[in-house]
Amino acid sequence: FAGDDRGVCEGELLQLEGSGGNTYEWFPANLVSDANIANPTALLTADQQFILRVSNAVGCDDTDTVNITLNPLPVITAETDIDVCLGTSASLGATGGISYTWLPEASLSDPTAPNPLASPFQNTVYIVVGTDANGCSSQDSQRVTILSLPNIDAGQDAAICEGETVLLTAVGAQSYSWSPAGSLSDNSIA
């Protein structure tokens, strides 16, 4: 018996499964690691049919075939690299598979989701391994770069008399938003 017809993923070592005899002979012999054992290995580059001739102790022989389908690896695509401010989260994303595993897991909301939320404290390259319906896997990566927070200064505390105005001055950023805005002339300037 040459085993059941089945698929193998591209680049995966195939283990053939012969049984039922004392001696074995696999064809084509040049595609297997050892044509004269029950369970040789093969590395395929295309779909392949193997023929197995099995002989028993009294010299009777029989043949069987097994058809191996070579399944291509899925094209797993992670989203583009992203920059986030320190202390915020980023949504990762991948397509091309039916299941996913992201690494490192420590800062992820769900390392098996196609789009987990990442909350790293340092620059991190996340590797995603995606698996398709045939059980074949490949990977891609997405980098999250942590941007440092601006070092802003809103100036000295001030005391004023009722009805007076005071000039508020901030430095250290490119844009500003003062709050509460109600009593300010413009809450979006330094």
Check residue 77 and give its pLDDT: 98
Check residue 171 and give its pLDDT: 86
DSSP symbols for 107-122: TBS-TTSSS-EE--SS
Bridge partners, residue 51, by sequence? 27, 65
Q: What angle do CA 83, 86, 88 make, to 5 degrees?
A: 80
pLDDT tens, residue order, the chain (190 aa): 899 999 999 999 999 999 998 999 999 999 999 999 999 999 999 999 999 999 998 889 999 999 999 999 999 999 999 999 999 999 999 999 999 999 999 999 999 999 999 999 999 999 999 999 999 999 999 999 999 888 888 888 888 888 888 888 888 888 888 888 888 888 888 8
Residues whose CB falls within 8 Å of the CB of residue 122, separated by 6 or more in sequence, listed in order = 146
Check residue 172 and give its pLDDT: 85
Tallying the residues shown for the chain, one arrives at 190
Check residue 181 and give its pLDDT: 84
Please name the helix (run of DSSP H) or strand (run of DSSP E) that holds residue 44, with its range, or none. none
Check residue 155 and give its pLDDT: 85
Check residue 36 and give its pLDDT: 96
Check residue 103 and give its pLDDT: 97
Residue 73: DSSP 8-state: P
DSSP symbols for 34-95: -TTSSS-EE--SS-EEEEEEEE-TTS-EEEEEEEEEEEPPP--EEPPPEEEETT--EE--EE
Q: For the whole prediction, is pTM greater than 0.85?
A: no
